[in-house]
């Protein structure tokens, strides 16, 4: 069954690992699809952070849009997929980097990540997308 607007927005707002897809820009090739952390609040824009010079950042800039799919297996099989245009790309602030890491990691792990791992990345960008097209389903319990 498709989810209601409220159900799909609430599900997307949970901290799942997303599967981001964007046109690879190469004739005869499938889209680039990679796992990614993301943030979303119901009714708002979805946002991701990535290295400014990464392949996905370049492809998103060229395409002007991307898709993101999140799913879970328990307690029921459920997914939400959104697609939309990029509405902004700006340098990632320290606050955005911290918020994203703390969304996915426990406090001690987030502090260690921000201290030891984050500095190994190049300059980041925050890319915001306005969801325009939604697909969703809750297929119930399996097994």
Residues 28-41 have pLDDT tens digits of 999 999 999 999 99
Element (H, E) at 63: helix 55-63
- Compute the distance between CA of residue 66 and CA of residue 17 in angstroms, rounded to an integer: 16
- Compute the distance between CA of residue 51 and CA of residue 99 in angstroms, rounded to an integer: 16
Residues 6-54 have pLDDT tens digits of 999 999 999 999 999 999 999 999 999 999 999 999 999 999 999 999 9
- Compute the distance between CA of residue 6 and CA of residue 129 in angstroms, rounded to an integer: 19
pLDDT reading at 87 higher than 80? yes
pLDDT reading at 141 higher than 90? no
- Compute the distance between CA of residue 63 and CA of residue 82 in angstroms, rounded to an integer: 16
pTM for the predicted model, two decimal places: 0.94
Residues 110-137 have pLDDT tens digits of 999 999 999 999 999 999 999 999 999 9
What pLDDT, on a 0 to 100 scale, did the predictor assign at position 143? 65
Beta-bridge partner residues of 58 = none
């Amino acid at each position: 069954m498709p989810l209601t607007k409220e159900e799909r927005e609430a599900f997307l707002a949970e901290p799942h690992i997303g599967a981001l897809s964007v046109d690879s820009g190469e004739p005869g090739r499938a889209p680039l699809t990679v796992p990614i952390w993301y943030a979303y609040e119901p009714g708002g824009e979805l946002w991701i952070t990535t290295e400014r010079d990464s392949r996905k950042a370049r492809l998103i800039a060229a395409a002007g849009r991307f898709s993101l799919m999140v799913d879970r297996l328990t307690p029921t099989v459920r997914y939400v997929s959104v697609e939309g245009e990029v509405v902004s790309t700006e340098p990632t602030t320290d606050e955005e980097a911290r918020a994203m890491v703390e969304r996915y990691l426990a406090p001690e792990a987030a502090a260690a990540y921000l201290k030891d791992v984050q500095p190994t990345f190049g300059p980041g960008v925050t890319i915001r997308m306005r969801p325009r097209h939604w697909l969703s389903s809750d297929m119930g319990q399996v097994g």
